[in-house]
Amino acid sequence: MGVRMAIAIALLAMWASAAPADEVRQLKFHHNSDGALHFVQTETVAGAQVFWSERSQVLIPHPAGTVHLSGDREFEIIERALDAWNAAALTCGDGIRLTLGEPEPGEVGFDRINRIVFRDERWCAPIDCDAFCGRREDCRGGEVCHNPSAAGLTTLCYNVESGEILDADIELNGVSFAISDGGLSEAGGSELADLANTFTHEVGHFIGLDHTCWNPENGPQPSDHQGNLVPDCRATALLTPEIREATMFATQTNGETKKATLEQDDIDGLCRIYPADTGGCGCTAGSGNPGSAVLLVFALVLAVLPRSRQSACRAGRFSD
């Protein structure tokens, strides 16, 4: 039982204009025609649902990869995860296409390059004020450390008013966890974070999906448009199989691998956000003016929490 873990996802948001820091946006469930609870699309604090207007996105991995996996195995795994989402997109018209680019060094930040960075030494990200998602005067520099319970983290930079995603970066935690493949990791250790499991989930955040249940520490419990409360992630009796088994479910267990394969709920979410491009959806890349855009840094954390809650590196919205 000692290695039994509960997992949670936490949300962290930093408002780039007048709203208070750490304000958290509302979640909203969508409903099928049969009324069943379904996937959740990330929303901005202004109520816009996030999306990529440019339907072809490239993700650039840092060449260092991770020492936890041998050879280039990590790149094979992340490419396979992207392909899983691409295959899902094909079922509804090829609405988005994700490509793994050639590795290149670089850090997370608002540079319109979608980066994948493994953190094997410090589970922290340096803050470059020249690539700050928000008003530069609000940037304090330094570095930000993430929730040590988080196996992965996706940060979206988007326009609060339109919801258009402008940049997205994925970080993977090789400090708190042994990043594993099939239950094996060069790092040893008993707390395994299967890379395919974690990364496939993070890609869901990358395209604009949120978790299929609500975390109480992320704000008031929201209601959907039918007035139904979104179920608490900890209220296990309320979590339907569609919610619990989804890749976008908010928790994972030690060494779990089932999130590497998408469920119908995840695919429905993808297809809702990215239906077949009919040419009439205004799918043109934004002009992109970081100086004037109202932006929001939004981080989604795939967290693995042991029985006793771990505190986050900074005050905020991390929770189980």
Map residue 101 onto helix, strand or coil: coil
What number of chain residues touch Zn ion (CB under 5 A)?
3
Near Zn ion by CB under 5 A: residue from 300, 303, 305, 312: 300
Stretch touching Zn ion by CB under 5 A, among 3-11, 53-61, 165-173, 307-315 = 3-11
Query: Nearest distance from residue 33's CB to Zn ion, in Å?
Result: 27
Q: Of 265 and 294, which has the nearer Cβ to Zn ion?
A: 265
User: Residues 243, 210: contact at Cβ < 8 Å?
Assistant: no
Positions in 7-36 near Zn ion (CB under 5 A): 9
What angle (nearest 5°) sits at the alpha carbon of residue 246, between those of residues 241 and 248?
Answer: 140
User: Residues 142, 277: contact at Cβ < 8 Å?
Assistant: no
User: Residues 53, 224: contact at Cβ < 8 Å?
Assistant: no
d(CA 31, CA 11): 23
Query: Nearest distance from residue 317's CB to Zn ion, in Å?
Result: 13
Stretch touching Zn ion by CB under 5 A, among 2-10, 39-47, 142-150, 311-319 = 2-10
Question: At which residue do the structure tokens 């975390």 appear?
Answer: 215
* Residue 302 contacts Zn ion per CB under 5 A: yes
E strands present in 229-319: 295-305
Positions in 158-217 near Zn ion (CB under 5 A): none
* Residue 294 contacts Zn ion per CB under 5 A: no
Q: With CA atoms as reference, report the closest residue to 57 among 176, 203, 218.
A: 203
Q: Of 248 and 293, which has the nearer Cβ to Zn ion?
A: 248
Query: Nearest distance from residue 150's CB to Zn ion, in Å?
Result: 9
- The residue ranges that bind Zn ion (CB under 5 A) are 9, 300, 302
